[in-house]
Amino acid sequence: MRRLGIWACILLMLALCVPCAAADTAENMQIVYTYITQTLGYNRAAACGIMSNIQYESSFRPEAIGDSGAAYGICQWNSRRQSLINYCERNGFSSWKDIYGQLGYMGYELENNKKKVGDYLKTLPDTPQGAYDAGWYFCVYFEIPVNRYQKGIKRGRTAVTKYFTMYGGTYETYPLSFHALGGTGAPADMEKIEGVPALIPENVPALVGYTFTGWSDRNGSDTLYQPGDYYEKDLPAAFLAMYEPLNTGDFLVSLDESGCTITGYTGSSSYIIIPSEYNLSPVVAIDYGAFAQLGSVTVFVPDSVTYIEEGAFASSVTLSGSPGSAAEAYAKAHSLPFVHVRDGRTLTLSGQIKVIGEEAFSGAIFSEADLRNCPLVRIESRAFAGCARLREVRLPASVSYIAPDAFPSGITIYAPSGSYAQTYAAERGFSFVPFTVN
């Protein structure tokens, strides 16, 4: 505290001799650096960390105003501004708005209410790592801006690359390369700066038939780095892409440069949903015999499929998809029932369908089912079970039986007044909206 009092006197004398308004940024930077290293006794690395923060807070301008007028000065004091004013008045500074009074108060805080920060800065080595740690720590625990941890990384980097070198320091750089190992789309090579964490790029490679699981740095670690992680070792690294075989669930898939082809199905669902892609590769075709062994099931075919081989589906299969899709064209050509699902949202049945069998659409993805345009009589057990998105069902007056567990809870049934569907809705606690048959 005695030394800070002496420095307050020195700062006051300098303030009388060198008007703050006349000091440009370079002069202010030198004043700050001299104060931190000669008066506070911190080493170069610690000074560089503090200076990086002052740059981002105020560009070394003691008159800087931020936070809509709430923050002021080189360190943008806000809730502590009154303490800054009181300190300058007690220690004989002509104004709390000049750099000398503000530096004196910063030093006071580092010995008092921010002593934890001051003590930490004194422990740091005079190295690039020390400069980075000073910049990060001062940001996170002294300045405390919004998004302080991310900003701390940026300020730590600036402490090394700008201020540490400005005051005679040097740092090493380490090459980082990324290898897709048969895949495509690896990030470009980059450099890691000594003491500064390197951000692993967001883009990842793709390898047909495999899923990317992470990057191995080949430095004796089992760690797999993910996009957005930080590599902190001060060592060169050749990152190797790690993959695992593509998990296609119940589907058998072949892949080539054009995309995925469904070659078979091993599951037992009554409503089969073909995905539109695997590992960023679109599902574009369905091969001969892929679904030829199936019984009375419904298969939803996404719009990504543009080619369906002859003999791909058994004659007992009902196809589902968008109007005008390859699935609809195949259904018409082979006299298979086709169910319209517009935009993946609305199921529309038409034709001479009288019965919807057990689990016919179990697990389907649509939110509306319009069944009015067919002479429907029966809807069997669990016909729409597991349709988590289903909210609205429209039924014709011809329906005379609906299994108690045919629909999931929470739906609204639309049907003619006085119909069996209205009675069913009341018995099951479903909402009911009548409509008039034209």
In terms of C-beta distances under 8 Å and separation of at least 24 residues, what long-range contacts does 429-435 make, across chains too? 435/394
Q: What is the pLDDT of residue 437?
A: 61
Give yes or no: residues 375 and 231 share one domain.
no
Question: Nearest to residue 37, comparing CAs of 26, 24, 50?
Answer: 50
Helix (H, G, I), strand (E, B) or coil at 173: strand
Supply the CATH number for residue 126's domain. Answer: 1.10.530.10
Distance CA 369, CA 395 (A): 9
Average pLDDT, stretch 401-429?
94
Residues 363 and 435 in one domain: yes
Both 18 and 124 in one domain: the answer is yes
- Do 136 and 258 sit in the same domain of this protein? no
Whether 69 is covered by a domain: the verdict is yes
Q: Specify the number of domains making up the chain.
A: 4
Rounded Cα–Cα distance for residues 233 and 212 (Å): 23
> Going by DSSP bridges, is the β-strand pair 355-356/346-350 parallel, antiparallel, or unpaired?
unpaired
237 belongs to a structural domain: yes
DSSP state of 162: I
Q: Is residue 228 part of a domain?
A: yes
Tracing tokens 């940026």 back to the chain, one arrives at 154
Q: Is the pLDDT of residue 258 over 90?
A: no
Domain identity same for 60 and 129: yes
Q: Does 340 fall in a domain?
A: no
Q: Which of 166, 201, 233 is the last residue of a domain?
A: 166
DSSP letter assigned to residue 68: G
Boundary of a domain, candidates 192, 223, 245: 245
Q: How far is CA 229 from CA 178, 197, 198, in A?
A: 14, 9, 8
Q: How far apart are CA 47 and CA 162, in angstroms?
A: 12
pLDDT-derived band of residue 220, with 50, 70 and 90 as boundaries? low
In what helix (H) or strand (E) does residue 265 lie, and over which residues does it extend? strand 259-265
Six token digits for residue 376? 């429907």
Number of residues that make up the chain: 438
Q: How far apart are CA 191 and CA 172, in angstroms?
A: 10
pLDDT at 350 over 80: no
pLDDT of residue 177: 96
Predicted confidence at residue 246, as pLDDT, reads: 72
Helix, strand counts (H, E) of the chain: 11, 26
Do 261 and 320 fall into the same domain?
Answer: yes
Taking the C-alpha atoms of residue 20 and residue 98, their distance in angstroms, rounded to an integer, is 6
pLDDT tens for each residue of 146-183? 999 999 999 999 999 999 999 999 999 999 999 999 88
Cα–Cα distance for residue pair 137/27, rounded to 1 Å: 25
Of 185-189, 210-214, 227-231, the one with minimum mean pLDDT is: 210-214
The predicted pLDDT at position 342 comes to: 63
- 400 φ, ψ to 5°? -120, -5
More confidently predicted of 329 and 18? 329
Q: What is the mean pLDDT of residues 103-109?
A: 96
168/202 Cα distance (integer angstroms):
34
The SS3 of residue 178 is: strand
Higher-pLDDT residue of 323, 262: 262
Q: What is the CATH number of the domain that holds 263?
A: 3.80.10.10
Tell me the pLDDT of the chain averaged across its residues.
Answer: 88
Identify the pLDDT of residue 221.
Answer: 61
Same domain for 91 and 75? yes
Sign of the CA dihedral running 199, 201, 202, 207: negative
8 A C-beta contact, residue 431 and residue 410: no
Compute the distance between CA of residue 211 and CA of residue 214 in angstroms, rounded to an integer.
Answer: 9
How far from chain centre, in Å, is Cα 420? 49
Residue 38 per-residue DSSP state: I
Chain mean position to CA 207: 22
User: Is residue 327 located within the same domain as residue 352?
Assistant: no
Domain residue limits at 419? 345-438
Residue 18: C-alpha distances to residues 10, 21, 40, 92, 104 (Å): 12, 9, 21, 16, 16
Instruction: Tell me the mean pLDDT in the region 373-397.
Output: 90
139 near 48, Cβ under 8 Å? no
Question: 223 and 130, same structural domain?
Answer: no
Residue 141 falls inside a structural domain: yes
Comparison of pLDDT for 5 and 35, the residue scoring more:
35
Cα separation, 180 vs 184, in Å, equals 6
359 and 321 assigned to the same domain:
no
- Domain end marker among 166, 186, 202: 166
**Assigned domain for 431 exists:** yes
pLDDT tens for residues 304-343?
999 999 999 999 998 988 888 999 999 999 999 888 876 5
- Percent above pLDDT 90 for the chain: 62
Instruction: Answer yes or no: do 300 and 361 share one domain.
Output: no
Q: Is residue 192 part of a domain?
A: yes
Q: Please choose, from the candidates 25, 29, 9, the residue with its C-alpha nearest in 3D space to the C-alpha of residue 17.
A: 9
Report the pLDDT value the prediction gives residue 5, as an integer from 0 to 100.
53
Which of the pair, 345 or 158, is modelled with greater confidence?
158
Q: Taking 80 as the threshold, does the pLDDT of residue 377 lie above it?
A: yes
Q: Is the pLDDT of residue 17 over 70?
A: no
Give the pLDDT confidence score for residue 418 in this predicted structure. 93
Query: What is the token pair recorded at 79?
Result: 């809730």
More confident residue, 210 or 130: 130
What phi, psi does 244 have (nearest 5°)? -135, 155
DSSP 229: -
| Helix locations, 318-419, DSSP H | 326-333
Residues 188 and 224 in one domain: yes
Predicted confidence (pLDDT) per residue in 270-289, tens digit: 778 888 887 677 899 999 99
Burial (CB < 10 A; 0-12, 13-18, 19+), residue 211, is: middle
